[in-house]
């Protein structure tokens, strides 16, 4: 039997609670547990005019059918939709810890995260907080994880992983080393096998510089680091293409020949993916000992409580988490 999938509600003043309230009608009968402030969810449902039954839940209890199970995690202060407050940051961090630890101890089979505001958590709870991805790696005790976003424009999956994540652009070249690329590509290859069940993943690797360095005339990172590393990994059985110029890599015929793309930095690969599937894309953290998916957007405080927020990305992330967590012989839509 599938253990519940945890869904964290994100910043309580953002659109996370709005989106989570849409899940019971989209996934009736599925074992989902919302982790967040029960009172906030109740107030937001009333504000949005939604008829959703919320049931208090604790670890070890069965997930009730016909309602949204909620592991009550108080925000720590009164919440007004659209008005972020750093005094709620500790509650948000507790929510994330509960989901992560529940995945590690088997309480949950996967976790899905609604958006948080990094600046609010930095101001109110953890000045070193840089995002879900790094926080969950720390909770799981792993040295490196890989951020990958996926979308299905036209029905074909597009998966873009990142060699570096939330770094200032000036720090990116120094962060791309042979060791970091080997770890990143190993995590990407291994999780495509274990989580996506792709027997022999084909990975396209982008260059760092324009025209992939133009033979060293536009930068030497390709010649000195990327090409030798890819050759080394090919000798170990990796199926790798590249490094390819980023401006011509995202062509349909090339994408059709690969299972994933590795971009060198955040804004090299993600604008293409988000253009292709914004509002329906999914963020998945590879390299964790559990499944974690997330939305592709932020807290959108200006939309909280208005009924205008679109739940497509959270629904897609939840569907993927349920699919990846299901036993291989019992997957369904």
- Mind listing the pLDDT tens digit for each residue in 111-158? 999 999 999 999 999 999 988 988 999 999 999 999 999 988 767 889
**CA-based torsion, 314, 102, 184, 241: positive or negative:** negative
Q: What CATH superfamily is the domain 144-287?
A: Isopropylmalate Dehydrogenase (3.40.718.10)
- Flag whether 274 is marked binding: yes
What is the residue-wise DSSP string for 144-182?
--EEEEEE-GGG--EEEEESS-S--GGGHHHH--HHHHH
- Flag whether 283 is marked binding: yes
- Flag whether 253 is marked binding: no
> 3-state SS string over 35-91?
EECHHHHHHHHHHHCCCCCEEECCCCCCCCCCCEEEEECCCCCCCECCECCHHHHHH
Q: Does pLDDT of 6 surpass 60?
A: yes
Quickly state the pLDDT bin for 91 (edges 50, 70, 90): very high
Tokens matching residue 36: 């967040």
Enumerate the domain spans of the chain: 1-142+288-332, 144-287
Quickly state the pLDDT bin for 102 (edges 50, 70, 90): very high
CA distance 75 to 65: 26
What is the pTM (predicted TM-score) of this model? Answer: 0.90
CA distance 110 to 320: 10
Strand order in the sheet with 32-36: 54-56, 68-72, 32-36, 5-8, 110-113, 291-295, 282-286, 146-151, 158-162, 260-263, 202-206, 239-244
- Flag whether 166 is marked binding: yes
| pLDDT computed for residue 161 by the predictor | 97
- Flag whether 195 is marked binding: no
Classified by CATH at the fold level, domain 1-142+288-332 comes out as Isopropylmalate Dehydrogenase (3.40.718)
Q: Does pLDDT of 329 surpass 80?
A: no
Is it true that 1-142+288-332 and 144-287 share their CATH fold?
A: yes
- Flag whether 258 is marked binding: no
Q: Identify the three-state secondary structure at position 232.
A: helix
- Flag whether 211 is marked binding: yes
């Amino acid at each position: 039997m599938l253990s519940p999938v945890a869904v964290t509600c994100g910043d309580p003043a953002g659109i996370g609670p709005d989106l989570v309230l849409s899940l019971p009608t989209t996934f009736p009968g599925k074992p989902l547990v919302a982790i967040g402030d029960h009172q906030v969810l109740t107030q937001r449902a009333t504000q949005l005019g939604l008829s959703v039954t919320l049931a208090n839940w604790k670890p070890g209890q069965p997930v009730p059918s016909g309602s949204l199970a909620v592991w009550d995690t108080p925000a720590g202060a009164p919440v007004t939709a659209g008005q972020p407050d750093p005094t709620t940051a500790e509650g948000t961090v507790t929510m994330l810890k509960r989901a992560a630890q529940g995945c590690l101890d088997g309480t949950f089979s996967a976790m899905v995260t609604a958006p948080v505001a990094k600046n609010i958590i930095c101001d109110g709870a953890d000045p070193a907080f840089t995002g879900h991805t790094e926080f969950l790696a720390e909770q799981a005790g792993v040295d490196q994880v890989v951020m990958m976003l996926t979308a299905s424009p036209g029905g074909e999956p597009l998966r873009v992983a990142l060699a570096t994540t939330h770094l200032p652009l000036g720090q990116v070249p120094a962060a791309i080393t042979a060791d970091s690329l080997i770890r990143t590509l190993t995590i990407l290859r291994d999780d495509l096998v274990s989580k996506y069940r792709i027997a022999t993943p084909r990975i396209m690797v982008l260059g760092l510089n324009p025209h992939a360095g133009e033979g060293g005339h536009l930068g030497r990172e390709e010649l000195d680091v990327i090409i030798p590393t890819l050759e080394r990994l090919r000798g170990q059985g990796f199926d790798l293409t590249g490094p390819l110029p980023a401006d011509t890599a995202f062509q349909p015929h090339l994408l059709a020949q690969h299972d994933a793309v590795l971009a060198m930095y955040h804004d090299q690969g993600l604008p293409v993916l988000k253009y292709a599937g914004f509002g329906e894309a999914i963020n998945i953290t590879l390299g964790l000992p559990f499944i974690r998916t997330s939305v592709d957007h932020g807290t959108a405080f200006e939309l909280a409580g208005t009924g205008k927020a679109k739940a497509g990305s959270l629904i897609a992330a939840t569907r993927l988490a349920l699919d990846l967590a299901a036993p291989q012989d019992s997957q369904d839509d």
